[in-house]
Chains A and B, each alone.
Chain A
Amino acid sequence: MKKGTLSIIGHELVPEHVVIDEIEVKELLDKYKIKRVQLPKIKVSDPAINGLGAEIGDVVEITRQSRTAGISLSFRLVIG
């Protein structure tokens, strides 16, 4: 009756999350002239990044389906 573990990846409300490497992070921060802590946050325990191997301090790239732009990229800093 019950399925084992619940996978939320692929749920229509959950966009794609990818951990990006340091070079990309630097590009991003330089582009917007911001510091890392100024990014929006995501908790390390967030179900959507469960299994991505994200650690505190990493930056996650989120590919959102936007109502106005079609597809938009967004970034979140992994926090504890």
Chain B
Amino acid sequence: MEIKTVAEELKKSGVDEAIVELIKEGFSPVELATEIEEQLEMQIGQPYADDIILMFGREVESEELNLGRIGREVNKIKVPVKIKNELRQKLKAVKTKLSKEKLDAILGAVEQKYEEAQVEPREAVGIVAAQSIGEPGTQMTMRTFHYAGVGAIYITLGLPRIIEIVDARKKLSTPTMKVMLVRDFASERNKAEEIAMEIEETYIRDIAKVEADIDDMSVWVVINAKELKRRYILKEEVEQTIKDIGTDVLVEVMGDGKLRIHIKDKSCHDLLRLEAKMSNTVVKGIDGIKRALVRRDPGGEYVLYTEGSALKKVLKVDGVDSRRTTTNNINEISDVLGIEAARNAIIEEMASTLDEQGLDVDPRHITLIADTMTMDGEVKQIGRHGIAGEKASVLSRAAFEVTVDNLLEAAMHGETDALKGVTENVIVGQPIKLGTGAIELMARK
């Protein structure tokens, strides 16, 4: 980082102008710059660079640890980054009272607490996760099959939604997208409406009257100019779409928004079929987006909520923020954004569904489910066609679902059961190799 940029950053975070000027003029030695850089790097997102400057502005009292030292000591202990950041911030507040011994004692205690909180090896985390989500799930069932929506769009919530996620359904009951916009599309309602109209699928029947006339063997399309204007569609576009429908038709533009589509030497049946095909042709929009509504987010930004989902196509539309636009269809996310994005989406969707119901489930349990579902590079469901169906143990699979089928299959293939898991050992009445059961003690001779 250049000194100039450092100065710029400091100014932004509200540091005294004079000090910033001093630094800019090269008043500081190179050490100062490196120290500041180190500090800024260590405390990304926490602009308390002003403290650093203040420290350089005065004599450091003996015994008192400087901030850089605290930061470095905190960095040494083995805890996650998030805890380190929090720790640094808190230590900063009491820095004048810190001696080396006190700091060491605090850090040691934090490290110990963290280690104690970690899961023991051989702990059955899967069962803990299942129960931790299952128990709140029983509270959910009572309030289930109820829908809450964004305005007029309904979204499946509660238990049905959780089941949908865990089953990795390809066809959702209520697919929906949250389309974020960029630039002025996000700040002006008119612009946002424009995009909404652009992605919402529009059929010819929505903007025109389609009628078959048996007398002259042709289909008449009468375009509604008002609707066209409302949906930002040009008359030429509609005409072009109609012309593209087939080669065996003759299109005549009659003026006044009327079009006559004539077919030669065809039966009445063909004519009616043409009429149906005509009205079901998409003029504009993205196939699959049944509706798009403009809503204002709490942040003051205009956002589109859609009924129906087509992530890949929507991301390509100009004016759509291709970095923040998402869908609730996990499989679609996996296809378009990859397996890691699908994992994030599972966590996000489950957490928000549980949260919406007022249930507090530790993110670690949800993360475990997401990890398991995305383990093999594609989204797999938890049930008998996915995780549970791929278990190595015959007895475990038979105990889960479709008992007879599993046993029959296993018998036909001559499968053996190694009796390593929990379920199969419960069935045969053996101790389970889990937790304390995983360890065997032997007396020394």
When the two chains form their complex, are residues A6 and B377 in contact, meaning their CB atoms are under 8 A apart?
Answer: no
User: How distant is A32 from chain B, measured CB to nearest CB, in Å?
Assistant: 12
When the two chains form their complex, are residues A12 and B323 in contact, meaning their CB atoms are under 8 A apart?
Answer: yes
A65–B375 alpha-carbon span in the complex (Å)? 18
Task: Report the number of A-B residue pairs with Cβ-Cβ less than 8 Å.
Answer: 101
Closest residue of chain B to A67, judged by CB? B363
A3–B83 alpha-carbon span in the complex (Å)? 42
Tell whether A29 is near chain B: CB-to-CB under 8 Å.
Answer: no
Task: Please indicate the chain B residues that have their CB under 8 angstroms from the CB of A67 in the complex.
Answer: 347, 363, 367
Tell whether A23 is near chain B: CB-to-CB under 8 Å.
Answer: no
User: How distant is A38 from chain B, measured CB to nearest CB, in Å?
Assistant: 11
Chain A 51-80 interface residues, beta-carbon cutoff 8 Å to B = 62, 64, 66-72, 76, 79
Chain B 239-283 interface residues, beta-carbon cutoff 8 Å to A = none
Chain B 296-335 interface residues, beta-carbon cutoff 8 Å to A = 312, 315-318, 322-324, 326, 333, 335
Given A2-B316, A6-B316, A79-B377: A13 touches B341 (CB 8 Å cut-off):
yes
Q: Which of A13, A40, A70 contacts B337 (CB 8 A)?
A: A13
A42–B379 alpha-carbon span in the complex (Å)? 11
Number of interface residues of A (CB under 8 A): 32
Question: At the interface, is chain B mostly helix, strand, loop or mixed?
Answer: helix
Task: Please indicate the chain A residues that have their CB under 8 angstroms from the CB of B317 in the complex.
Answer: 1-2
Given A46-B377, A68-B80: A6 touches B315 (CB 8 Å cut-off):
yes
Tell whether B235 is near chain A: CB-to-CB under 8 Å.
Answer: no
Closest residue of chain A to B371, judged by CB? A40
Task: Please indicate the chain A residues that have their CB under 8 angstroms from the CB of B374 in the complex.
Answer: 40
When the two chains form their complex, are residues B339 and A68 in contact, meaning their CB atoms are under 8 A apart?
Answer: no
Task: Please indicate the chain A residues that have their CB under 8 angstroms from the CB of B333 in the complex.
Answer: 13
- B7-28 contact mask (Cβ, 8 Å, vs A): 1 or 0: 0000000000000000000000
A62–B324 alpha-carbon span in the complex (Å)? 20
- A23-57 contact mask (Cβ, 8 Å, vs B): 1 or 0: 00000000000000000111100111100000000
Tell whether B408 is near chain A: CB-to-CB under 8 Å.
Answer: no
Closest residue of chain A to B372, judged by CB? A40
When the two chains form their complex, are residues A48 and B80 in contact, meaning their CB atoms are under 8 A apart?
Answer: no
Q: Which of A10, A62, A68, A76 contacts B82 (CB 8 A)?
A: A68
When the two chains form their complex, are residues A13 and B82 in contact, meaning their CB atoms are under 8 A apart?
Answer: no
Task: Please indicate the chain B residues that have their CB under 8 angstroms from the CB of A70 in the complex.
Answer: 80-85
When the two chains form their complex, are residues A11 and B323 in contact, meaning their CB atoms are under 8 A apart?
Answer: yes
Chain B 19-66 interface residues, beta-carbon cutoff 8 Å to A = none
Chain A 1-27 interface residues, beta-carbon cutoff 8 Å to B = 1-3, 6-8, 10-15, 17
List the interface of chain A (C-beta within 8 A of B).
Answer: 1-3, 6-8, 10-15, 17, 40-43, 46-49, 62, 64, 66-72, 76, 79
List the interface of chain B (C-beta within 8 A of A).
Answer: 80-85, 198, 312, 315-318, 322-324, 326, 333, 335-341, 344-345, 347-348, 363-364, 367, 371, 374-378
Offer 15 A-B interface pairs, CB within 8 angstroms, sorted by A.
A1-B317, A8-B315, A8-B322, A8-B336, A8-B338, A14-B340, A40-B376, A40-B377, A41-B376, A48-B340, A66-B82, A68-B363, A68-B367, A70-B80, A70-B85
